[in-house]
Structure 1
Amino acid sequence: MTSEQQSVFCNQMQSEAFGEIKIDQSLIQRRNANYKPNIWNYDILQSLKSEYSDGKYITQLIEAQKLKEEVLCHLAEIVNPLAKLELIDSINKMALSHLFEKEIMLCLQDMEYAKKKDSGGEMDLYSTALYFRIFRQHGYKVTQDVFLSYMDKLGDQFEVDANMDPKTMVQLFEASQLALKDENMLNEARIFCTKNLKSSNIIPMEMPLHWQVEWYNTRGKISKQENEQRGPNFKLLQLAKLNFNMVQAEHQKDLVDILRWWRKLGLIEHLSFSRNRIVESFLWSVGVAFEPQHSNFRNWLTKAITFIILIDDVYDIYGSLQHLQLFTNAVVRWDPKEVEQLPVCMKTCFWKLYDTTNDVALAIQQQKGWKLPVSTYLQKAWAEFCKALLVEAKWDAKGYTPSFSDYLDNGWKSSGGPVLSLHVLLGLAQDFTQVMDFLENEHDLIHYSSLIIRLCNDLGTSAAELERGDLSSSVLCHMKEANVDEDVAREDIKDMVMETWKKMNKHCFDNSALSLGPLIKYIMNIARVTHFIYQNGDGFGVQDRETRQQILSSLIESLPLESEKTVLCNTHIYIAKKKKK
């Protein structure tokens, strides 16, 4: 856009009477983000029908309950504290903790009492790291001092052999990710383990467990346990595989429902410039709350994620500055009459947002029996989101690169994180007082989670944004302000992500045992999904790599049980041939 065009835009922006703005269509220049088209065949996805949701389901429920009881017996029989912690860890990794919540908490209470009673007992570094991680995850006040005996006299460095067994080093690395701000011993542990694991040919470095999405990794964790299936955890493995398929069947039913809604909505036909990512949006909602009882929540959250993507593309790609002013004003006032001057696609986008938000609000109120106007809270969240996007649009229109702090002050809102967080609170809280309590006392957690969305998003998309002429992202703002090259800026932002996790950890560990604990976990899950989506680039813009594989493994392909392997292999061949035709 030329400076003359920008000047005209800025003059037109001065008018507060939006209805009097006359839009000169000759000044509007559309951008093209070159997003790839949708890769999914909705007809095939809507025909998904798992045998775990047909007439055999009752039999499978009975079998799952029997296996659960056998695992509980095994857990109760274990005397060795390390063995018990390892079993609890396996339960968590195979996404079974929601089946054993009370039993796990009772085990940890008993173990903590026994440990206090026998304070003279010593553990090796592996056991200490596992103990620290499991107990801190569950809200126990475990301090970093448990590692004091492994530090030098000054407490600055770990006095351990760099050639320690990989199992111990990985456990110490995972424990270090639960650090709080200023916990220097844990920071030293992270640096020590990261350096040695990166140089090791035995253990590949992966994203820390604390940042990973529980459900996305379940299939891989189960596969790793296959080699030990004849050992003491055989029943746990059987339960994990059966539970995976049963939960996946629920997800498939949810996906069919959301696809039916999406196709009936007919919005993408009007926004051909935008990303058609309904399946990826559903994957995100599964990552936030995979448990089968949260079907309605996944439906509501998927709709919110989809509109975040569409509206973001309207602001980034399609709308002129005058159009975006009008669209923002309509969302702020929540008034369909305000969009009469907009192009048909933007009108339609607002109308669909308006109707969908009101429908979701009504569904939440009816399910929970709330009389409070949920739509008012959702509307305000959408308004703040659009206002933040408008700020970025004005920066781009002026060719202005904001300061790093100004960018982040606005960027955590434009990330969509507050919208997602509010849907989490409204969708998963047991009563409205929990929502108000969270917004009053834990608002910083929403900020930190949203900030991670913004930073990870920018790390994954900054190259493409720079190519299409965007002037504001955390990477670009930091490069300009600090006068550093892109590689340095990216490393600095990764460090900022690490520090933000430390701040989030405090909220988690201070409150995980209280009534807000589950809500805190789900807010943090938003950040975890973000890490997956943007770990190797833009997992939404380019969805045919890790995102595609995750959808196949998590949502579509069931885990073959021993008696099913041959049958399922033949079925997969049939599906592949069918797709090819």
Structure 2
Amino acid sequence: MLTPFANHPKLNKSKQNCTRISSPLQTKLIKMGSYLIVHQAPSLAVSHENPKLGHRSANYHPTIWGDHFLAYDNSDVVKENNLCEMEPQQPPHEVLKEEVRKMFIAVPDKSSKKLDLIDAINRLGVAYHFESEIDTSLLAIYGDYDEQINHVAGREEELYIVALRFRLLRAHGYHVSCDVFNRFKDSEGNFKESLAGNIRGLLSLYEAANYMVRDEDILDKALVFTTSQLKSMVPNLNSSLTTQINHALDMPIHKTVTRIGARQFMSLYQEDESHDPLLLSFAKLDFGIIQKLHQEELSDLTKWWKGLDTPNEIPFARDRLVECYLWSLAMYFEPKYSFARTTVAKLFALTSILDDFYDIYGTSDQLVVLDNAIHRWDISCLDELPKYMRPCYQALLSVFSEMEKESLKVVGKTKSVDFAISSMQAISRAYHEEASWIHDENLPTYDEYMKLALVTSTYPMIVTCSTVSMWGIVRENALDWVTKNPLILRVSSAIGRLMNDIVSFEAEQERGELASAVQCYMMQYGVSKEEAILELEKEITNAWKDVNQEWLLGSASGVSKIVLERIFNLARITYLTYKKEDWYTNSFSVTKDVIKSVLVDPIEM
């Protein structure tokens, strides 16, 4: 069944009048590890750079990273499957991996220890090494699911393992029934009071409930119950448990980016007395190895970005290469996706610039020229473009040319790249339509606004280009599926657009921006800001349920899990970036700390 988002694409931010609302940038030095970076607090000012031409600028703060990642140019990067040692006392990577594999296989599938082990391997970010072993075990656990739940009596001590089994199976695409949780309710239909003090069980149920689909009332109630109980416990717990609960409530496992979650989970896992030292050692070693690969990739990307000379050539645009790489890394961190990861990072960065062309700086006439150039897709268009647009346009053609060469090398044909180019041209058309609202000072209805959301969210383009860039890893029918605009892609796009608009609405209104989901909803339905936000948050909640449903349906029907997971991961990085404020545009806060943790700070062995 189609959701309210079935015909609702995304629309990006719109700007109207230019109003200065903040003081000039203030600069200070911040020490991060062993290096200094320039930190500039963001200004929300919007000013006319050239009133005669109509250019505007949002005065986005510059990159906080500078040339930091160039330092990793000569790093001793360890590729996948190499035998290496991070430290002299550490066994080689492959030796540890084989020991973990043997240990995993030796644990019986029907035991609770196997469930804990699968969970730990997933959360430590090393499941990609043991996919076949995990799949085999989960298939056996799924086959035994009905028998296992038939023995559940609803006792307090059973809750942890019942919820864990349910979560792991759903997370891996098995549509198991949630009816088992009814056994933990009393005669009045409420969850039993005896569960209130069971921290481990409540956390497990809370994490499981986040995998709900529509019409699963028991999981809706479980989420409300566990959230309330866990919050009430926090003041009376030790600091370690408080940290664990607060982190879970803020970022459930279901919505956590794998790489970021792995770094955070290692310290929690190490503090657990029942942790497996062998697994922890392997996870730390693997994290360090992959971190070096990511640092090398970002070093190469930084050189590419410096070649565009963005700060000087396009000073009004957001300089967010490192943040764009984080988004790409969130989609896939594994070594085999290196080409796709770096390609998508470039596309994120270039599309961000295009957004600023259409959204902020370009005049009406210049945007017509840009849109025409993108649709002609020819280097001969370069001279027709304004000077400030040329580096981005040339880089765009170059990135797709690299995709074409890679496709020819891997599968011997390049036709698939045509779909990728078409998806980029679709973004240009949609951006141009948005720009017409800005220049005409026309506030669209909510329905009109949302009709562009799928396209200008960039998700369809990114997922299409990602699929093409993974040629040789995914089958050709995966691209056919993506280009049919499946529901999971539509609703994940809606999550991103609505979350972004809710957190940026007030700041955008203060600086005179025209359209957002909040304002358009208020106008169309005649409601207050608070009422509009409440309704949009309900739509986000339902969209997550639809993402969960489509994950299960897609897995069952043979849709490529590799592609499904990329879409799922986009929703996850969206949740991180926009859950409290726009941490992409204002990248000096939590985003900086996250990037430090996964791309700068070495893991302690």
TM-score, normalised with respect to structure 1: 0.86
* Counterpart check, 1:46 vs 2:46: no
- Whether 2:227 is the aligned partner of 1:217: answer no
Of 50, 58, 78, the match for 1:33: 58
Single out whichever of 198-207 and 281-290 deviates more from structure 2.
198-207
> Residue 77 in 1 paired to residue 120 in 2?
no
Q: CA deviation at 1:539?
A: 1.5
Q: Indicate which of 341, 348, 363 corresponds to 1:320.
A: 363
* CA distance in 1: counterparts of 2:349 and 2:289, whole angstroms: 26
CA distance in 1 between counterparts of 2:308 and 2:601 reads: 28
Deviation by residue 1:144-187 (Cα, 9 ceiling, x = unmatched)? 212122345686x4344462322212211111111111112111
TM-aligned CA deviation for residue 131 of structure 1? 1.0
The answer as to whether partners of 1:136 and 1:509 remain within 8 angstroms in 2 is: yes
Supply the distance in 1 between the matched residues of 2:261 and 2:196 (Cα, whole angstroms). 28
User: Residues 415 and 454 of structure 1 are in contact (CA less than 8 Å); yes or no, is this contact kept in structure 2?
Assistant: yes
Tell me if the contact between 1:288 and 1:522 (Cα under 8 Å) persists in the aligned partners: yes
Q: Give 1:60's aligned amino acid.
A: E
Q: How does 1:464-543 map to 2 (within 5 A)?
A: 464-512=507-555, 514=558, 516-543=560-587
CA deviation string 1:189-248 (max 9, x = no partner): 1222223333432432212211110101211100112223x6451111111111100111
CA distance in structure 2 between the aligned counterparts of 1:348 and 1:283, rounded to whole angstroms: 23
Instruction: Describe the shift of the 1:431–1:234 C-alpha distance in structure 2 as closer, same or farther (beyond 3 A).
Output: closer
Q: 1:259 to 1:245 in 2, by over 3 A?
A: same
Gapped regions of structure 2 (runs ≥ 5): 1-14, 18-49, 235-241
**Which moves more between the two structures, 309-318 or 446-455?**
446-455
* CA distance in structure 1 between the partners assigned to 2:551 and 2:16 by the alignment: 49
Higher relative contact order by CA 8 Å / sep ≥ 6: 1 or 2? 2
Task: Supply the distance in 2 between the matched residues of 1:134 and 1:2 (Cα, whole angstroms).
Answer: 47
d(CA) in 2 for partners of 1:469, 1:404:
18
Of 296, 299, 304, 1:256 maps to: 299
Distance in 2, matches of 1:549 and 1:98, equals: 25
1:29-70 CA-to-partner distances (Å, cap 9, x unmatched) read 22221211111131553346555649x963339622222233
User: 1:496 Cα shift?
Assistant: 1.4
Selected match of 2:468 from 412, 426, 444:
426
Which residues of 2 match residues 148-167 of structure 1 at below 5 A? Answer: 148-151=182-185, 157-161=190-194, 163-167=196-200
Which deviates more, 431-440 or 137-146? 431-440
CA shift in 2, pair 1:435/1:115, >3 Å: closer
Q: Read off the aligned partner of 1:381 and give its amino acid letter.
A: S
Q: Which amino acid aligns with 1:259?
A: T
* TM-aligned CA deviation for residue 279 of structure 1: 1.1
How far is 1:116 from its partner?
Answer: 4.4
> 1:86 maps to which residue?
116
The question of whether the paired residues in 1 share the 8 Å contact of 2:314 and 2:388 is answered with: yes
Alignment of 1:282 onto 2:325 = yes
* 2:438–2:514 contact (8 Å) kept in structure 1: yes
Amino acid across the alignment from 1:103: E
Looking at structure 2, the residues matched to 182 and 483 of structure 1 have their Cα atoms a distance apart, in angstroms, of 29
Q: Tell me which residue corresponds to 2:426.
A: 384
Looking at structure 2, the residues matched to 436 and 543 of structure 1 have their Cα atoms a distance apart, in angstroms, of: 33
C-alpha distance in structure 1 between counterparts of 2:174 and 2:362, whole Å: 50
The one of 183, 203, 208 equivalent to 1:175 is: 208
- 2:500·2:578 contact (CA, 8 Å) conserved in 1? yes
Which one of the candidate residues 266, 278, 299 is aligned to 1:235? Answer: 278
1:432-458, CA deviations, whole angstroms, 9 ceiling, x for partnerless residues? 523334236662222122222212222
Change (3 A) 1:484 1:37: same
The yes-or-no answer on 1:127 pairing with 2:156 is: no
Contact 1:162 1:196 in 2 (8 A): no
SS in 2 for 1:236: helix
Aligned pairs for 1:106-121 within 5 A: 106-116=136-146, 120-121=150-151
**Alpha-carbon separation, structure 2, partners of 1:84 and 1:178:** 21
Once the two structures are aligned, what percentage of the paired residues are identical?
Answer: 29
CA RMSD of aligned residues (A): 2.7
Q: What's 1:355 paired with?
A: 398
- The SS at the match of 1:31 is strand
C-alpha separation between the residues in 1 aligned to 2:560 and 2:310? Answer: 36
- TM, length-normalised to structure 2: 0.82
Q: 1:322 to 1:483 in 2, by over 3 A?
A: same
Q: Counterpart of 1:545 in structure 2: which amino acid?
A: S
Secondary structure in structure 2 of the residue aligned to 1:95 = coil
Structure 2 counterpart of 1:147, one-letter code? F
Deviation digits for residues 248-301 of structure 1 (CA, Å, limit 9, x no counterpart): 111111111111222223344321100111111111111110001211111110
8 Å Cα contact 1:327/1:339 also seen in 2: no
Q: Distance in 2 between matches of 1:369 and 1:396?
A: 43
5+ residue gaps, structure 1: 4-24, 562-581
SS in 1 for 2:161: helix
Structure number with higher helix proportion = 1
